[in-house]
Structure 1
Amino acid sequence: MEERRELRRMPPGERCPECGSVKWYLQDGLRFCSRGHQIEGFIQFDVGEDEDSGRLGAVTRREREIRSSEKRQLSGQEGKSLYLEALQLLLRNQALWLIHEKGYGEELETVIRDLWDLRIRGSSSLATADHDTAEAQLEMFSSQSLPEENKTAWKLRSRTQSWDPERDADWPMPTLPETLGLCYLASLLLRIPTRLGELLHWANNGNIPYKTAYHDLPREMQDRLPSAYVKALKLPLRSSLQGGIFYRTVMDLVLSYHLNYGMVFPEISSVSLLVQYAKMLALPIESIVATKRLSAALGYRFQFAVNKTNILPIDHPEIRLITLLIFATKLCFPFKGNQPSTEGLGTAYLPRFEWETWRQGLVQHPEDEELPNKAAEFEAMTPNQVVHMNDEELDAYFAHMTALVDKRNENPITQFFPTETPAAPAPPVPEMSEDEVDQRASRLLSQTLEPPRGLGIIEAEGPSGASDDIMYEAFRSVQDLSGTAAAFYKATGDAAGIPLDLVVRAVYMLEQRVVSWQKGQRAMDTGGW
């Protein structure tokens, strides 16, 4: 009888079904328990103490199938090219909106396309750019600029960008606000009177394609855009474009076109824009006349200063225009008193302007009313505030966050769980028609204008009182503004799309230049030169 082999212990949980023995031995390729009962289901190789020891036959493993999958999210040059295509699509939609909704000529699209071609002509150099620098190439514009940035934003010569293809990875990628800037410059080349404030309000209020730039893209383009550019295209949903940033973007484009191609843009349509501002602010025609005479006396032109080394706010043609309008209006219709504080501008028989009536009757223009920025409120929410939200607020919060979450890499199992429906875009703010603007201006002017004094009207005030009435008020900072001045400055800034502090600084710069000009004129008159 063949000698039994060495007994081995069965794995935990196994035993002989006949006798319950937990030990076994191997004989003739079969497994038996220690008492000789055959154990069924034996695998045809010996499992020893060490792994794979005593193997009785060759083991064949099936080769794992190699799945080839295309990477959906692009990177490097392909990702940047797709981002440029997305901006080009947005730019075309903006051009079509201006043509169909605002009645601009069809040649606007051609001019915008030519400007865009010049802007991205150096993008071919991106083929050699490293993917690691993708996020560094894109400047993320924030809606709330830093205080120091506000102070130095207008004295840059270094803002001029070189679009030379030889820059390779350093070639500056276009930004989202540049699309609006190109629309403005194309209108300027075609001599279409367009205010920067108009474009800004249309963008922030959802009229012109801008806020929903990412969601307006085809689904395939959304899925393949790099994350850095997705964030840039979604930024308008989270924060509004600020006027200071938009004005600076336009100035940067003008300087860059001049540096790279020697282009010089024409002057803005100052008279047409001046009339638009006067209507929106319900100002008398005397303000327009005085503004034109002041600009002629000071030798001011309304063209972009491309040859200056330090660019100040007042060097922007549209900011210069509104500062002259404010200055001329203050000269003709002082906030305190009723006599004009200027001579030589044909103001001998100016009507009186009741500023308090104007202040009370001026209804804020619908263009100045931006949509309630719920997105900004949600971004500033603290965890404690979220916890104390009611059901309706919580649903709105989750809907907002859902719109910002990237869904391209979703786990397939998530399809079995309900998701929040993204919040629908807010409807655009209705605009006031031109007839409504004219009617409002006529109504306010009829209430605020009174006949000039001195024409058969006996004044109760003596010469000493009159001398106090002709004092001109200058304000160096926002804190120095009187109530009427603050209302007037803010209304003008809202119409132009720039913040109050920038308006105050620009007007004060102009006032100081006028003081210097007056001193020079007096010196010339007295033979001091």
Structure 2
Amino acid sequence: MAPTKYHRFRHGERCDECGARQWYAQDALRYCRNGHRLEGFAEQVADEDAFGTQGKVSRKKKEVRKKVAVKLSGDEGRELYLEALQFVLLRQVRWLVGEKGFPGDFEEIVRALWALRVRNLPLRGSEGVEDGRGRRRRGESAAESEDGYASSASAVMVSSQSEMSGAGSSLEPDFSDATKGTTATWAPDAGRRWKLPKLVDSLALCYLGCLVRRLPATTADFCGWAQRGEIDYLAALKGIPRNVRDRLPAEYHRALQVRDHIPLGRLQAAVQDLVISYKVNFDTIFPSLNYVPILVRFITELALPVEIYLTVKCFAEILRTNFSYPVGGKRIRTMDNPEVLLITLVVVSTKLLYPLDGVERPPRDFQDPRSIKFDWTKWQEVMREDTNKTSKNLLQGQEYKVTSEDVLTLEKEKLDDFMDWFESMWIGGDSDPRTAEMIRKPFEDQKRSSKPRDSGGQSNGDIESQRMKDRYEAINDTMLMVQPVPDPEDADIKKQDRDFCPVWRTPEDLPDAAKALYSKAADLAAIPLNTLIKGAVQVERQLEVWCIQRARKARDNEKSKGKGKAVWTGDDSDY
């Protein structure tokens, strides 16, 4: 008797009773290996007339296997990261030129700065040796690519001290204070090389381009554009082509992914580091800040009297500053940053002219700027009302402050604005299958009631002008003239009590009016409140030293004139 011939079930099939995976045929019926009859199967004996007519054959479609991009590593991964960062920088520059009206040569300036930034970044283990045709291999100095930017393929860097090592946390250090950069950080010794640029360096390079071109843009402007999603930064990774993202190593993904906001002072610190590094490596000095239009903007945004402008100009001459970034010295103070110094001078001038502690300091005469009384209670009320009546919509750039508890109490318009921001910032536009379906589903084919936050046909400039006008009209109605109180006749050189102002060193020391002004000024300059307070203390100390030296010089002149026979020369310049 011939042995039984067993066959295997098709993939995914088995006996319903015992689960056997083999079967055999007997008497035109099919049985499993254990003898259980299988339903739905009967052999048909084909005759000669039915030869070749076996019916329709259906085949199971094979699942399409998605190709998984190979992650690059080593030098190739670093090259791709540089090219991706260069792509982000290019988009930022062209947005500034196209949307903000920056001059046409702005792109060439930033291109040159980028070429310098990546020039001294050799590949690991490459020495730039010439090949047989006289061309330099990888590791040569940066060349120009087709779009005019430095080619990352020949400019990739990283020494043994690369910040890309480890878990990647060193990619985004904390720049909560703009006083950490020193010349020692960029010492031009053979053992230290430039580190990989970070995403924040792209904004810093654009800002340095503004310095070169003398454009009155501040780091706070760049932070605001990035926070509102106008310029590529928060969601920069989403704008990079998909095939590039798939091949980037994980650590470079983390380098291009940022949190939902820019920490205060982070961009200022990045700018300071770049200024020092360009000086040390290439002996490049950047122009000083075009501070006059920025000063006017600070004063008008804070709705302060015009006398503040003249006082700031006088203090700038006393401190002998030209509002340029420091490039020398082992220690950089808070007030050495030109933007921090400028907003600090505005605050200190306001504090001296219009006391914030509620103490009456009458003027000596009508020429004294203190002859005008400034109502700080009204100022706080106007600034608070101006913030509250922005609109029913969520304030742009502040969406990241919404918490899970706030979502339950937000108005419908504000909730729609938050969802719009979340969709535009964090939901990929290429239908990334890895994105959780529960997160993506609410955003698909939905028409929410929120509309673009327009101004009813008015331009942004008209709205700002009207807002400033309303502020000043409301504040000027409360300003009063103060009757002067001359010094007593028997008063000597000793200063009067009204010539002294308190020094506040911590936020807890600030009175209500002072805290409102300091907080508003710090937000306007995009710096931490503690940084502004520290800068104010340093400026006040410098002014105090100047007053002491001036008084000492006056006493010395009096003593020198008192010796011998006094002769009047008609020159009162010492006074």
| Residues 305 and 316 in structure 1, CA contact (< 8 A), matched pair in contact too | yes
Superposition pairs of residues 348-363 of structure 1, within 5 angstroms: 348=369, 350-362=371-383, 363=386
Aligned to 1:161: 186
| Residues 340 and 347 in structure 1, CA contact (< 8 A), matched pair in contact too | no
1:287 aligns with 2:287: no
Question: Cα–Cα, structure 1 residues 403 and 306, in superposed 2: closer, same or farther, change >3 Å?
Answer: same
Question: Cα–Cα, structure 1 residues 526 and 134, in superposed 2: closer, same or farther, change >3 Å?
Answer: closer
Question: Cα–Cα, structure 1 residues 427 and 313, in superposed 2: closer, same or farther, change >3 Å?
Answer: farther
Shift of 1:212: 1.1
Structure 1 residue identity aligned to 2:121: S
| Residues 184 and 330 in structure 2, CA contact (< 8 A), matched pair in contact too | no
Structure 1 residue identity aligned to 2:182: R
| Residues 338 and 353 in structure 1, CA contact (< 8 A), matched pair in contact too | no
Aligned to 2:102: 104
Shift of 1:435: 3.2
Superposition pairs of residues 243-282 of structure 1, within 5 angstroms: 243-282=264-303
| Residues 503 and 537 in structure 2, CA contact (< 8 A), matched pair in contact too | yes
Match of 2:261 among 202, 223, 240: 240
Shift of 1:209: 1.1
- TM-score, with normalisation over the residues of structure 2? 0.65
| CA distance in structure 1 between the aligned counterparts of 2:300 and 2:379, rounded to whole angstroms | 13
Shift of 1:204: 1.4
Shift of 1:118: 0.5
| Residues 327 and 511 in structure 1, CA contact (< 8 A), matched pair in contact too | yes
| CA distance in structure 1 between the aligned counterparts of 2:540 and 2:427, rounded to whole angstroms | 48
Moved more, 478-487 or 131-140: 131-140
Shift of 1:314: 0.6
Shift of 1:160: 3.8
| CA distance in structure 2 between the aligned counterparts of 1:188 and 1:329, rounded to whole angstroms | 27
| Residues 279 and 327 in structure 2, CA contact (< 8 A), matched pair in contact too | yes
| CA distance in structure 1 between the aligned counterparts of 2:287 and 2:159, rounded to whole angstroms | 39
Match of 1:327 among 348, 351, 372: 348
Aligned to 2:82: 84
For residues 330-376 of structure 1, the C-alpha deviation after alignment (integer angstroms, 9 at most, x for no partner) is: 111112458668889963574221111111101239798633217x9
Shift of 1:443: 2.3
| CA distance in structure 2 between the aligned counterparts of 1:344 and 1:118, rounded to whole angstroms | 57
Moved more, 424-433 or 108-117: 424-433
For residues 222-271 of structure 1, the C-alpha deviation after alignment (integer angstroms, 9 at most, x for no partner) is: 11111111112122xx3311121111111001000111111111110111
1:209 aligns with 2:232: yes
Question: Cα–Cα, structure 1 residues 222 and 353, in superposed 2: closer, same or farther, change >3 Å?
Answer: same
Aligned to 2:463: 436
Structure 2 residue identity aligned to 1:254: V
Aligned to 2:332: 311
| Residues 159 and 252 in structure 1, CA contact (< 8 A), matched pair in contact too | no
Aligned to 2:171: 140
- TM-score, with normalisation over the residues of structure 1? 0.70
2:164 match: secondary structure: helix
Structure 1 residue identity aligned to 2:471: L
For residues 148-184 of structure 1, the C-alpha deviation after alignment (integer angstroms, 9 at most, x for no partner) is: x756x515425643689x769x540000111111111
| CA distance in structure 1 between the aligned counterparts of 2:213 and 2:199, rounded to whole angstroms | 23
Question: Cα–Cα, structure 1 residues 422 and 509, in superposed 2: closer, same or farther, change >3 Å?
Answer: farther
Question: Cα–Cα, structure 1 residues 350 and 136, in superposed 2: closer, same or farther, change >3 Å?
Answer: farther
For residues 183-221 of structure 1, the C-alpha deviation after alignment (integer angstroms, 9 at most, x for no partner) is: 111011001110111111111121111111000011111
Aligned to 2:515: 486
| Residues 163 and 196 in structure 2, CA contact (< 8 A), matched pair in contact too | no
| CA distance in structure 2 between the aligned counterparts of 1:172 and 1:109, rounded to whole angstroms | 24
For residues 284-322 of structure 1, the C-alpha deviation after alignment (integer angstroms, 9 at most, x for no partner) is: 111111111111123222011111220111100010011
The count of aligned residue pairs is 431
| CA distance in structure 2 between the aligned counterparts of 1:122 and 1:110, rounded to whole angstroms | 20
Shift of 1:472: 1.9
1:472 aligns with 2:501: yes
Aligned to 2:481: 452
| CA distance in structure 1 between the aligned counterparts of 2:518 and 2:341, rounded to whole angstroms | 14
For residues 396-453 of structure 1, the C-alpha deviation after alignment (integer angstroms, 9 at most, x for no partner) is: 9x9999959x99997xxx9xx9674288799998798333333322322233232422
2:72 match: secondary structure: coil
| CA distance in structure 1 between the aligned counterparts of 2:162 and 2:500, rounded to whole angstroms | 58
Shift of 1:481: 0.6
Aligned to 2:399: 372
Aligned to 2:118: 120
Shift of 1:474: 2.1
Structure 2 residue identity aligned to 1:194: A
| Residues 518 and 529 in structure 2, CA contact (< 8 A), matched pair in contact too | yes
Structure 2 residue identity aligned to 1:200: C
Question: Cα–Cα, structure 1 residues 122 and 402, in superposed 2: closer, same or farther, change >3 Å?
Answer: same
Question: Cα–Cα, structure 1 residues 489 and 245, in superposed 2: closer, same or farther, change >3 Å?
Answer: same
Moved more, 328-337 or 245-254: 328-337
Shift of 1:136: 1.8
Aligned to 1:191: 214
Over aligned residues, Cα RMSD in angstroms?
Answer: 4.5
| CA distance in structure 2 between the aligned counterparts of 1:134 and 1:349, rounded to whole angstroms | 54
| CA distance in structure 2 between the aligned counterparts of 1:473 and 1:292, rounded to whole angstroms | 22
Structure 2 residue identity aligned to 1:82: L
1:72 match: secondary structure: coil
| Residues 111 and 186 in structure 1, CA contact (< 8 A), matched pair in contact too | yes
| CA distance in structure 2 between the aligned counterparts of 1:402 and 1:318, rounded to whole angstroms | 32
Shift of 1:97: 1.1
| CA distance in structure 2 between the aligned counterparts of 1:131 and 1:71, rounded to whole angstroms | 28
Aligned to 1:524: 553
| CA distance in structure 1 between the aligned counterparts of 2:353 and 2:453, rounded to whole angstroms | 35
| CA distance in structure 1 between the aligned counterparts of 2:366 and 2:345, rounded to whole angstroms | 14
